[in-house]
Amino acid sequence: MPDDLREGRIVIVGASLAGLRAAETLREEGFTGSLTVIGDEPHPPYDRPPLSKQVLLGRMAADSAALPMRRDPDAEWRLGVRATGLDPVGKQVLLADGESVTYDRLLIATGTRARPWPNADEAALDGVFTLRTRDDAGRLTKRLAAGPRRVLVIGGGFTGSEIASACRERGIEVTLAERGPGPLVGALGGTLSMLAAGLQRAHGVDLRCGVTVTALRGNGRFTGADLSDGSRIDADVCVVAMGAVRNTEWLAEAGLAAGPRGVACDAGCRAFNMYGIVTDDVFVAGDAARFPHPLFEYQMLSLEHWGNAVTQAEVAAHNMVSPEPARRPHLAVPVFWSSQFGLNIKSVGVPTFSDQVVIAQGSLDERRLVAVYGYRGRITAAVTVDMAKWLEYYQGLIETAAPFPPGPGAADGRPLVAAFPVPSNVPDPKGLFHGPTVALTGHLPDRRLTVVRPAD
Amino acid sequence: MQIVVDLTRCQGYAQCVFLAPEVFELHGEEALLYNPAVPDDQLDRVRQAATACPVQAILLGKEVSAGAR
Ligand SMILES: Cc1cc2nc3c(=O)[nH]c(=O)nc-3n(C[C@H](O)[C@H](O)[C@H](O)COP(=O)(O)OP(=O)(O)OC[C@H]3O[C@@H](n4cnc5c(N)ncnc54)[C@H](O)[C@@H]3O)c2cc1C
Ligand code: SF4
């Protein structure tokens, strides 16, 4: 490795949000060496959140969501080629086209992909979709524009709920099937899941909870699905929204702490190897990363949050070009947003890291509220529904480990709306169709020494 | 030119909606929707919106050019 960390060869694998922001930050921090960004999608970096919102609503084209650059990172972009392996000794990234790229320092930013329907034949039926890429969104939007009789959405997480919302807004009949007790329950717990369920029904979603989809039917073309309660849904489009899978298979032989829950790294974004020893030349950022957070008892967090991809990429890039004493930890409090059924839902902290919840402002009936989550007597998260201006205030309480429940008048001088916290009822994610977008994945990096079985 | 709004930071103040209504719109009370591909004739308005945004959540810039190597 060259003595000056601002020189040498840096390779970034994953040309999306985290990869782009890291590339820009490297240059902002004075990196003058060679920079290569490898991405398996043929497109330059684009933004995903609009895909399940504006794009499905027909308000913008799926191919118009390119991400703006903060500055041109002067990188070599190798797009449309997949990294297939990593040789940590020879310091090379192996590519699907047979070439390899040598690095001094590497950033892994390969994110996640949509979890496919487990039965490959059924998943191949015409009319069965997943939603992760702009090509997925383009195909699905076209199908929605053709006016299907009914859309079946499998999974009531954020993505599934946003898809159902877009369908209803377009006047399309939609059934949403969720194995757990309600939509969004995996991310927000029981109380807000009740609100989400009421919201969906009020907007005409045929919501089926506590049921499993047992089979997708069709002869070449999707025609419907069987549910575990014996009922059958006739539909001509099916969107499988069963959460995300980390793109870590290409690291199977790399000797890193990489598995289905992501690549484990320290607070400085340095990857752990499979013995739990931290590396100094391999960094991770974005949805692919799994990192410890002091506010949540140093449990490893896996996030699928836009904001985290940006801030973690910035910290990783800074640390890649900075000597030890100047390195920074990634301590940002997780923030997430979703818009569905005309509501703006935002969360700060980790709602699933909780045992109780209290409505601190607003109410379920008004569909305007702040729910505050606590764990063993301190505030660990807050969720706002159409009250985003309050998010920052509660973020401060989380950062200072303020006592839960928040005192009367904590927010705006008014007493708490509901004085009594109730259990937050966060279910075991195993019983859900949707994955939470924040997952607590245990304490130790070696806990992820699991065998990776490619899903397809 | 392309934009992206950092919606983790956006507080729905809607200044952008007033300044460039063809690009930004509020969906319901405070959910912001926008068109990331800014038409040329909207550029000035979007620049003003980016400057006016109280939390500086709007980023305007070029996309990575296709075919870049
Ligand atoms: C439909 C949708 C809606 C969303 N809505 C919201 C929202 O409202 N709010 C929010 O906070 N977040 C939202 N997100 C999540 C947000 O988009 C992600 O957190 C963000 O994209 C993560 O960025 P990333 O760069 O880490 O990973 P990704 O965006 O997943 O990018 C990883 C890139 O690496 C590529 N890659 C993978 N493996 C390889 C390989 N072996 N070789 C080369 N390239 C590879 C992938 O193809 C991909 O292009 C949404 C996501 C989706 C899909
Ligand atoms: S001006 Fe800024 S804060 Fe207000 S709605 Fe627009 S982006 Fe959001």
Write the pLDDT tens digit of every residue in A201-221: 999 999 999 999 999 999 999
Asked if residue A97 lies in contact with residue A103, where contact means CB atoms within 8 angstroms, the answer is: no
**CATH code for the domain in which residue B29 is found:** 3.30.70.20
Nearest to A334 by CA among A364, A299, A369, A360: A299
Percent of all residues in chain A with a pLDDT value above 70, rounded to a whole number: 92
- Asked whether the beta carbons of residue A59 and residue B35 sit closer than 8 angstroms, the reply is yes
pLDDT at site A456: 46
Is the model's pLDDT at B69 over the cut of 50? no
Please name the residue of chain A whose CA is at the shortest distance from the CA of residue B35. A60
Per-residue pLDDT tens digits for A331-367? 999 999 999 999 999 999 999 999 999 999 998 889 9
Ligand nearest to the CA of A306: 1
Same domain, A266 and A239: no
Helix (H, G, I), strand (E, B) or coil at A118: coil
Task: Tell me which of A162-171, A408-417, A419-428, B30-39 is least confident.
Answer: A408-417
Mean pLDDT on A142-158: 97
Is any Cβ of chain B less than 8 angstroms from the Cβ of A58? no
Contacts of A60 in chain B (CB under 8 A): 35-37
Instruction: Pinpoint the alpha helices (H) of chain B.
Output: 15-19, 43-52
Kindly list the distances between the CA atom of residue A264 and the CA atoms of A8, A155, A235, A269, A447, in Å, as whole numbers in the listed order: 25, 27, 41, 9, 10
Report yes or no on whether pTM surpasses 0.90.
yes
**CATH code for the domain in which residue A231 is found:** 3.50.50.60
Nearest to A349 by CA among A406, A420, A397: A397
Asked if residue B41 lies in contact with residue B60, where contact means CB atoms within 8 angstroms, the answer is: no
Is the model's pLDDT at A262 over the cut of 70? yes
Ligand nearest to the CA of B21: 2
Tabulate helix, strand, coil % of chain B (nearest 5). Answer: 25, 25, 50
> Which domain-ending residue is among A243, A275, A302?
A243
For chain A, the farthest-separated pair of C-alpha atoms sits apart, in whole angstroms, at: 67
At A190, list the tokens: 């029981």
Is the model's pLDDT at A454 over the cut of 60? no
Task: Tell me which of A80-89, A159-168, A441-450 is least confident.
Answer: A441-450
pLDDT at site A408: 66
In a domain, A450, yes or no: no
In a domain, A456, yes or no: no
At A443, list the tokens: 């304490």
Phi and psi (nearest 5°) for A15? -105, 65
Is the model's pLDDT at B66 over the cut of 60? no
Per-residue pLDDT tens digits for A397-441? 999 999 999 976 555 545 455 556 788 787 777 677 776 667 777
- Asked whether the beta carbons of residue A306 and residue B7 sit closer than 8 angstroms, the reply is yes
For chain B, the farthest-separated pair of C-alpha atoms sits apart, in whole angstroms, at: 44
Q: Could you say which residues from 17 to 56 on chain B have a Cβ atom under 8 Å away from some Cβ of chain A?
A: 27-37
> Residue A420's Cα: distance from chain center in Å?
32
The dihedral region occupied by A123, where left means phi > 0, alpha psi between -120 and 50, and beta the remainder, is: alpha
pLDDT at site A96: 98
Is the model's pLDDT at A148 over the cut of 70? yes
Domain extent, residue B16, equals 3-67
Of B2, B31, B35, the CB nearest to A344: B31
pLDDT at site A412: 53
Q: How far is the CA of B67 from the centre of ligand 2 (A)?
A: 33
Same domain, A232 and A309: no
Same domain, A199 and A147: yes
Contacts of A78 in chain B (CB under 8 A): 69
Same domain, A28 and A86: yes
Q: Could you say which residues from 123 to 162 on chain A have a Cβ atom under 8 Å away from some Cβ of chain B?
A: none
Q: What angle do CA B32, B35, B36 make, to 5 degrees?
A: 110
Task: Tell me which of A150-159, A436-445, B16-25 is least confident.
Answer: A436-445
Q: How far is the CA of B14 from the centre of ligand 2 (A)?
A: 5
Helix (H, G, I), strand (E, B) or coil at A41: coil
Q: How far is the CA of B3 from the centre of ligand 2 (A)?
A: 13
Same domain, A250 and A368: no
Of A64, A305, A339, the CB nearest to B36: A64
In a domain, A398, yes or no: yes
Q: What does the alpha-carbon distance between residue A343 and residue A57 come to, in Å, rounded to a whole number?
A: 15
In a domain, A4, yes or no: no
Same domain, A127 and A222: yes
Of B3, B6, B64, the CB nearest to A45: B64
From the CA of B4, how many Å to the nearest CA of chain A?
6
Which residues lie below 8 Å from residue A453, measured CB to CB, with a gap of 6+?
A: none
pLDDT at site A426: 79
Contacts of A307 in chain B (CB under 8 A): 6, 8-9
Is the model's pLDDT at B37 over the cut of 80? yes
Q: Which atom of ligand 2 is nearest to the CA of B14?
A: 5
Task: Enter the ipTM.
Answer: 0.96
pLDDT band at A450 (very low <50, low <70, confident <90, very high): very low
Same domain, A257 and A321: yes
> Which domain-ending residue is among A294, A326, A358?
A326
**Prior bond of A405 cis (ω within 30°):** yes
> Which domain-ending residue is among A290, A305, A326?
A326
Whose CA is closest to atom 2 on ligand 2?
B53
pLDDT band at A1 (very low <50, low <70, confident <90, very high): very low
Domain extent, residue A383, equals 335-444
Same domain, A214 and A191: yes
Q: What does the alpha-carbon distance between residue B65 and residue B69 come to, in Å, rounded to a whole number?
A: 9
Q: How far is the CA of A376 from the centre of ligand 1 (A)?
A: 33
Per residue in A212-251, is it b (16+ CB within 10 Å) or e — as a string? ebeebbbeeebbbbebeeeeebebbbbbbbbbbbbbbbbb
Same domain, A283 and A293: yes
Q: What is the mean pLDDT of chain A?
A: 92
In a domain, A59, yes or no: yes
Residues in contact with ligand 2 by the CB-under-6-Å rule are: B 5, 10-16, 32, 53-55, 57-58
Mean pLDDT on A254-282: 95
Contacts of A59 in chain B (CB under 8 A): 33, 35
Q: What does the alpha-carbon distance between residue A119 and residue A238 come to, in Å, rounded to a whole number?
A: 14
pLDDT at site A409: 54
The count of structural domains within chain A is: 3
The count of structural domains within chain B is: 1
Contacts of A362 in chain B (CB under 8 A): none
